[in-house]
Chains A and B, each alone.
Chain A
Amino acid sequence: DQQVKQNSPSLSVQEGRISILNCDYTNSMFDYFLWYKKYPAEGPTFLISISSIKDKNEDGRFTVFLNKSAKHLSLHIVPSQPGDSAVYFCAASVGSNDYKLSFGAGTTVTVRA
């Protein structure tokens, strides 16, 4: 049962515009959320995270928003660059079950020049 869902398998955006990636979760016990970025034939790399005590975390061009009541988080990339073309995974963990991350299926972002 997928507890973390990324319902958009792909996203195409023009260079310089905003990319918005969405993620929904079903487990109300999740209290830590992460985004990973993955290039083809490579392992994912950590991008940004947010704790459930916050509703926003910003790191350069990347901002993650958390809406706990809606069990929804989003990743904003502004401005989008060609190097941002990759697969983005949303992940979540439960504080009391803290050795495991549940991942979404990923969203493939393509940034058009």
Chain B
Amino acid sequence: SQTIHQWPATLVQPVGSPLSLECTVEGTSNPNLYWYRQAAGRGLQLLFYSVGIGQISSEVPQNLSASRPQDRQFILSSKKLLLSDSGFYLCAWSWGRVDTGELFFGEGSRLTVL
């Protein structure tokens, strides 16, 4: 069976510090990978998605970046965090097109920037 894990689960960081959130998928190959963010009172906002190693599509201009160094690994990074980066970050994967199935989400990472 397929599993997805992301870490850390909780993170408190000062403004201006770097960020690295990691996500790995097991039990499948060549998944589509996604990073979403849920800010307070808002829906899930797609930040990045990747359909293959080294292929990253950015949806929202911001100070965040994503990388996919391996087939089943997706990393969300920032060089300098802003207060507005606080939120609940979710990694997800899909078999392929989302209109033929659904997204499978990780447990989430709660980021608080102080």
Chain A 30-41 near chain B by CB (<8 Å), digits 1 or 0:
011010100001
Q: Which residue of B lies closest to A49 (CB)?
A: B102
A44 pairs with B51, CB closer than 8 A = no
Quote the shortest CB–CB distance from A88 to chain B (angstroms).
Answer: 11
B103 pairs with A101, CB closer than 8 A = yes
Query: Residues of B contacting A95 with CB < 8 Å?
Result: 99
Q: Does A59 reach chain B (CB closer than 8 Å)?
A: no
At the interface with chain B, which of A13-21, A74-82, A102-110?
A102-110
Docked Cα-Cα span, A101 to B108, in Å, equals 17
Partner of B43, one of A4, A32, A45, A99: A4
B99 pairs with A46, CB closer than 8 A = no
Docked Cα-Cα span, A2 to B43, in Å, equals 9
* CB interface residues, A 66-95, toward B, < 8 Å: 89, 91, 93, 95
Q: Which residue of B lies closest to A96 (CB)?
A: B99
Q: Does A60 reach chain B (CB closer than 8 Å)?
A: no
Q: Which residues of B contact A (CB under 8 A)?
A: 9, 32, 36, 41-46, 49, 51, 57, 59, 90, 92, 94, 97-100, 102-108, 110
Query: What are the nearest 7 A-B pairs in CB distance?
Result: A43-B105, A32-B99, A46-B102, A103-B44, A98-B97, A103-B43, A105-B43
Q: List 30 A-B contacts (CB under 8 A).
A: A2-B43, A9-B41, A32-B98, A36-B102, A36-B103, A41-B9, A41-B107, A41-B108, A41-B110, A42-B108, A43-B106, A43-B107, A43-B108, A44-B90, A46-B102, A51-B99, A89-B43, A91-B44, A98-B99, A99-B49, A99-B51, A99-B57, A99-B98, A100-B46, A100-B49, A100-B98, A103-B36, A103-B43, A104-B43, A106-B43
